[in-house]
Amino acid sequence: MLASTFVLFGATGDLAKRKLFPALYNLHLDGKLPEPFAIFALGRKPYDDGLFREHAAESIKRFSRRGQADAGRIARFAERIHYQIVDATDAQSYASLKRAVEQRERELGLPGDRLFYLSVAPEHFGPIAAHIRSAGLAKEGAATRLVIEKPFGRDLESARALNASLNESFPAEDIYFIDHYLGKPMVQNLQSLIAANPVLRAVLSNKYVANVQITASETVGVETRAGYYDGAGALRDMFQNHMLQLLMMTARHSEIFDKRKIMESAYPISKDEAALHVVRGQYAAGVANGKALAAYRDEPGVAPDSETETYVAARVWLDDPIWRGVPFYIRTGKRLSEKSTRIVFVFKDPLEAHMPDKPVRNYLTIRVQPDESVDFQLNLLGMDGELQPVPLRFSTKTEEVPEAYERLLYDALAGDPTYFAHWDEIELAWKWVQPLQEAFASNLVPLHLYPAGSNGPEAANRLPEEQGFAWLEQDDLDVSPRETEPLAVGS
Ligand code: BG6
């Protein structure tokens, strides 16, 4: 049953503006929202309905993948949004919210299946959940779901406390921890790509794969988020959640499909060993596309002596029958040379013994964003008798593909938890990351500065080099058919 009442805490925040209202609008355009559908936008700012609707319509125009399409339609969509001033710590606010929700549901004849989306700071999660429960905002006999945004805590202990406080008011099955990387179409496609292609299933294992590289690089810097980011850093902001979820999604296989088991199989890295397997960096001043970029420490709101990392690379080994002996190199950072999220399986080189100076490049690259594609890089003999890399490529047009938040909001409305992070995974990921956090805090892992606009700190090259490999950058992977020389075959 699709929930038909959507209640958004933190409606004046950045996420609501950039992602949530555009996602709801696109679901509406695609006919995926139940009709009628009620939206309550809650915040502390003194908007009224009219002003807030204008603000929401502006966000949709600016950020929706189909925002420019139809201003009239956007305005009509915004009409369903009701803005309510709410002080999340005050019981009275919840009592008046309840009256407003019930009245609207009566007017529209809605059954009272409600989705509460908590796009607020984590310290509010538990108290808001408790108020929803005690104010009677969860209707007897109807569905009530809570969607929780990251960050889910700062460390293992605070994440556990957070989960415990949510569980005081809601059963685990009603809590949806959102990790928007799990909503990205290519990430969701991984499973069927492998399951439905026996040829891939057969080769994706330690028998043929030399190493796996998972990269999420961003060109943006900290932007206006220093207040949050300087206290978090890349390890908490990206690594503990998105990167480890990508690892779990990439490494699961037909024998071990449960992501928890994959996370459990990751060899722990102790605080003392962290510097051997993990590299951290922070962007210094640099240049991209001819534009000078400020150093992280000079960004507004960042402490001038900040030791916060904006880049993390790690080498992870899995104690898993399929992946034992295959290093997973994982890296993420801000202010890098390109925006790209991709997973590359690097195959072993069968000719290495015969042609050590001419390595064969045979890769399977799954590009998650900004373009979605699956590339298989093969080698064929060229006119000159040398092996030429030749790509086989499938790619889709991203503007036609629903965004992560659209998919995930729909799933939450429908009560489908498949692509949400499960608490056990979150807990295991924090457990794995905890010694690294401690090592960073005690300065046991050096902080390398890297120029903004570069590929990150050179120190990170050591991670694959120690096994005789190298990071693959976009240039290494981009073999367009145009660049390919004529082939000897058939000529
Ligand atoms: C968010 C992080 O979870 O993911 C941001 O807090 C980061 O710092 C963002 O920029 C990246 O998301 P995407 O979808 O643009 O790769």
C-alpha atoms less than 13 angstroms from C-alpha of 414 in its C-beta half-sphere = 14
489 close to 380: Cβ distance less than 8 angstroms: yes
Q: Does 180 have pLDDT greater than 80? A: yes
> What's the angle, vertex CA 408, arms to CA 74 and CA 396, rounded to 5?
80
Report the distance separating Cα 106 and Cα 472, nearest Å.
Answer: 58
What distance in Å separates the CA atoms of residue 45 and residue 253, rounded to the nearest whole number? 48
Q: How far is the CA of 153 from the centre of ligand 1 (A)?
A: 17
| Alpha helix stretches (DSSP H) within 266-367 | 274-277
Structure token pair of residue 368: 């998650």
Atom of ligand 1 nearest to the CA of 181: 14
Tell which atom from ligand 1 comes closest to the C-alpha of 216.
16
Helix ranges restricted to H, 109-235 = 125-134, 156-169, 185-195, 198-203, 226-229, 233-234
Per the rule left: phi > 0, alpha: psi between -120 and 50, beta: everything else, 129 is alpha
**281 CA to centre of ligand 1 in angstroms:** 18
Question: Nearest C-alpha to atom 9 of ligand 1 is from which residue?
Answer: 238
180: annotated active-site residue: no
| Confidence at residue 260, expressed as pLDDT on a 0 to 100 scale | 97
Q: Are strands 5-9 and 114-118 parallel, antiparallel or unpaired?
A: parallel
Residue 482 has pLDDT above 50, yes or no: no
Confidence class for position 69, pLDDT limits 50, 70, 90: low
Q: Nearest 5°: phi and psi at 133?
A: -65, -50
Distance CA 236, CA 339 (A): 19
Alpha carbon of 352 to those of 344, 359, 462: distances in Å?
Answer: 20, 6, 21
pLDDT band for position 480 (cuts 50, 70, 90): low
237 lines ligand 1 (CB under 6 A): yes
- Residue 256: per-residue pLDDT: 87
* Cα 300 to ligand 1 centroid, rounded to whole Å: 19
Ligand 1 centre from 112 Cα, in Å?
Answer: 33
Q: Say if ligand 1 is within 6 A of residue 218 CB.
A: yes
Please classify residue 219 by burial: count the beta carbons closer than 10 Å to its beta carbon, then call 0-12 exposed, 13-18 middle and 19+ buried.
middle
pLDDT confidence tier of residue 399, bands split at 50, 70 and 90: low
For the chain, the farthest-separated pair of C-alpha atoms sits apart, in whole angstroms, at: 81
The pLDDT of residue 175:
98
Ligand 1 atom closest to the Cα of residue 242 is 3
Can you tell me which atom of ligand 1 is nearest the CA of 150?
3
Mutate which of 178, 242, 245 for ligand 1 pocket (most atoms within 8 A of beta carbon):
242
Q: Please name the residue that has the structure tokens 């790690």.
A: 314
* Percentage of the residues of the chain whose pLDDT score is greater than 70: 96
**Mean pLDDT calculated for residue range 415-443:** 97
Sign of torsion over alpha carbons 88, 94, 97, 98: positive
CA distances from 188 to 135, 191, 427 (A): 37, 7, 22
Ligand 1 touching residue 230 (CB < 6 A): no
Look at ligand 1, atom 6, and give the residue with the nearest C-alpha: 237
User: For 304-342, how does the pLDDT look when each residue is reduced to its tens digit (9 = 90+)?
Assistant: 999 999 999 999 999 999 999 999 999 999 999 999 999
Q: Alpha helix locations (H) across 355-460?
A: 404-414, 423-441
Nearest 5 degrees, angle CA 156-CA 157-CA 160? 85
Among residues 180, 242, 253, 277, the one annotated as catalytic is: 242
Question: Which of 65 and 180 is assigned the larger pLDDT?
Answer: 180
The mean pLDDT of 149-165, rounded to a whole number, is 95
User: Contact at 8 Å (CB) between 339 and 370?
Assistant: yes
Model confidence band, residue 71 (pLDDT cutoffs 50, 70, 90):
confident
Residue 328, pLDDT score: 98
* Mean local confidence (pLDDT), 352-368: 84
Task: State the average pLDDT over residues 59-88.
Answer: 90
Q: What is the predicted pLDDT for the residue at 486?
A: 54
The closest-lying atom of ligand 1 relative to the alpha carbon of residue 237 is 6
Task: Report the mean per-residue pLDDT for the chain.
Answer: 93
Cβ–ligand 1 distance for 427 under 6 Å, the answer no
Identify which of 336, 333, 278 has the alpha carbon closest to the alpha carbon of residue 463. 278
Q: What angle do CA 53, 58, 62 make, to 5 degrees?
A: 150
Q: Contact at 8 Å (CB) between 24 and 166?
A: no
pLDDT of residue 351: 78
How many whole angstroms from 30 Cα to the centroid of ligand 1? 25
- Chain centroid offset of residue 308 CA: 20
Cα–Cα distance measured from residue 215 to residue 232, given in angstroms and rounded to the nearest whole number: 20
Residue 490 pLDDT exceeds 50: no
Among 177, 215, 218, the mutation site with the greatest number of ligand 1 atoms within 8 A of its Cβ is: 218
The tokens for 459 are 């120190």
Rounded to whole angstroms, how far apart are CA atoms 211 and 22?
38
Integer Cα distance of 274 and 418 in angstroms: 33
pLDDT of residue 488: 56
CA of 225 from ligand 1 middle (Å) equals 11
How far apart are alpha carbons 27 and 325 in whole angstroms? 44
Residue position matching structure tokens 């690294």: 436
Give the pLDDT band of residue 398 (cuts 50, 70, 90): low
Kind and range of the H or E element at 14?
A: helix 14-15
pLDDT at 491: 38
418, 158 contact by CB (below 8 A): no
> Closest ligand 1 atom, CA of 241?
3
The pair phi, psi for residue 366, each rounded to 5°, is: -110, 110
Q: What is the pLDDT of residues 197-227, one digit of tens each?
A: 999 999 999 999 999 999 999 999 999 999 9
- Which of 225, 235, 238, 296 has most ligand 1 atoms within 8 Å of its beta carbon, as the pocket-test mutant? 238
Q: What is the pLDDT of residues 116-135, one digit of tens each?
A: 999 999 999 999 999 999 99
Residue with more model confidence, 398 or 420: 420
How far, in Å, is the centroid of ligand 1 from the Cα of 308? 17
